[in-house]
A and B are shown apart, each in its own frame.
Chain A
């Protein structure tokens, strides 16, 4: 299955990350793994595409990274969703929903699967 264009992926990455962290705090590798699993491998974030995005979101105050002990016993940097980040979820979901609705009307894009 071919990947998604980098620009589209960047835009959707914020929503994907916020939605995941809304359920539970995760460290970077877990975030990338879960996004890949949940999207059936269509959305893939590697080291290069994930961390600049996470750091930007942290600067904006949407997420907060803390070093915490992982189940393995090692310390990992877990990202927590902040109240400010949680407030971004609904508008982002709506924005993407309207975007896909517009695409459906203009380009006949149908939901996959």
Chain B
């Protein structure tokens, strides 16, 4: 056994790995060599010839050394999930933001639907029709992008819905930020503002959150989904 390990070490050379791992690999390869030689001996080949033939089954030892090194130290520049989900999702977010800014720059204003409720705060819906129509294209681009790089249906769907999911994240985190800033105000000299607007998560706040959810999450999710649908199905097998 030691003899086989020395033979492997002599041909493989230094792998450039941690000593323990390198020892493991040499041991494993020498076990394989030994089994290979034993199989050749069982066919009537002389022991020394069997070992030589087993060693010769590797045509290029330096290439094997490099292959093992690369396999052991392989660092994927981009893992699968980044490729099929995060990048297309970021692309969708960026595209939806660019569209939003572009339409505002072009003077296309959103439509505000006011609701009167008798409360001091009047929540409203925001319907930004040009942007919503543009989101169909955003959803399509994101789903297609994910599909082209090998994403499954769920990756394509999540990438397409990324702008809506992003807004949902902002919405969910905003109460936390609100509480944090509100508590910080206690230490501010102008604490009168703190007393005048007691923090409350009832009534107007909840209504406001519901309206924001509808305007900036659920409503945009619809055109994003419409755009993605053609790219969610698996290709039909040709008959």
Find chain B residues with CB under 8 A from A52 CB: 64, 67-68, 70-71
Q: Are A51 and B28 in contact (CB under 8 A)?
A: yes
Q: What are the interface flags for B7-39 relative to A under an 8 Å C-beta threshold, 1 for contact and 0 otherwise? A: 000000000000000001101110111011000
Q: What are the interface flags for A78-113 relative to B under an 8 Å C-beta threshold, 1 for contact and 0 otherwise? A: 000000000000000000001001000100000000
Find chain A residues with CB under 8 A from B64 CB: 47-48, 51-52
With both chains docked as a complex, state the minimum distance between the C-beta of A61 and any C-beta of chain B, in angstroms.
Answer: 11
Bound: A16/B33 CA distance, A: 21
Find chain B residues with CB under 8 A from A101 CB: 237
Within 8 A of B (CB), among A8-44: 27-29, 32
Find chain B residues with CB under 8 A from A32 CB: 32
Q: A98-B237, A101-B237 are in contact. Are A47 and B71 (CB under 8 A)?
A: no
Q: Name the segment of B54-62, B88-96, B125-133, B156-164 touching the other chain.
A: B54-62
Bound: A51/B57 CA distance, A: 13
Q: Are A48 and B74 in contact (CB under 8 A)?
A: no
Please count how many residues in chain A sit with their CB below 8 Å of the partner chain's CB atoms.
Answer: 20
B77 on interface, CB distance cutoff 8 Å: no
Find chain B residues with CB under 8 A from A98 CB: 237
B2 on interface, CB distance cutoff 8 Å: no
B72 on interface, CB distance cutoff 8 Å: yes
Find chain A residues with CB under 8 A from B33 CB: 47
Q: Are A28 and B32 in contact (CB under 8 A)?
A: yes
Please count how many residues in chain B sit with their CB below 8 Å of the partner chain's CB atoms.
Answer: 25
Bound: A77/B60 CA distance, A: 24
With both chains docked as a complex, state the minimum distance between the C-beta of B156 and any C-beta of chain A, in angstroms.
Answer: 15
Q: Are B237 and A47 in contact (CB under 8 A)?
A: no
Bound: A77/B27 CA distance, A: 9
Q: Are B71 and A55 in contact (CB under 8 A)?
A: yes
Q: A27-B31, A77-B28 are in contact. Are A47 and B238 (CB under 8 A)?
A: no
Q: What are the interface flags for A42-58 relative to B under an 8 Å C-beta threshold, 1 for contact and 0 otherwise? A: 00001110111101100
Bound: A74/B27 CA distance, A: 12
Q: What are the interface flags for B30-56 relative to A under an 8 Å C-beta threshold, 1 for contact and 0 otherwise? A: 011101100000000000000000100
Bound: A56/B60 CA distance, A: 19
Find chain B residues with CB under 8 A from A76 CB: 31
Q: Are A48 and B59 in contact (CB under 8 A)?
A: yes
Bound: A74/B1 CA distance, A: 11
With both chains docked as a complex, state the minimum distance between the C-beta of B132 and any C-beta of chain A, in angstroms.
Answer: 35
Bound: A28/B35 CA distance, A: 10
Q: A52-B67, A55-B68, A101-B237 are in contact. Are A47 and B32 (CB under 8 A)?
A: yes
Q: Could you list 5 A-B pairs, sorted by A, with CB under 8 Å? A: A47-B33, A47-B64, A51-B25, A52-B68, A53-B71
A residues within 8 Å of B by Cβ? 27-29, 32, 46-48, 50-53, 55-56, 59, 74, 76-77, 98, 101, 105
Shortest Cβ-Cβ A-B pairs, 3 listed: A52-B67, A55-B71, A29-B35
Known: A48-B58, A51-B68, A77-B24. 20 other contacts (CB 8 A): A27-B31, A28-B28, A28-B32, A29-B36, A46-B36, A46-B58, A47-B29, A47-B32, A47-B54, A47-B58, A47-B64, A48-B57, A51-B29, A52-B67, A52-B68, A52-B71, A55-B68, A55-B71, A77-B27, A77-B31
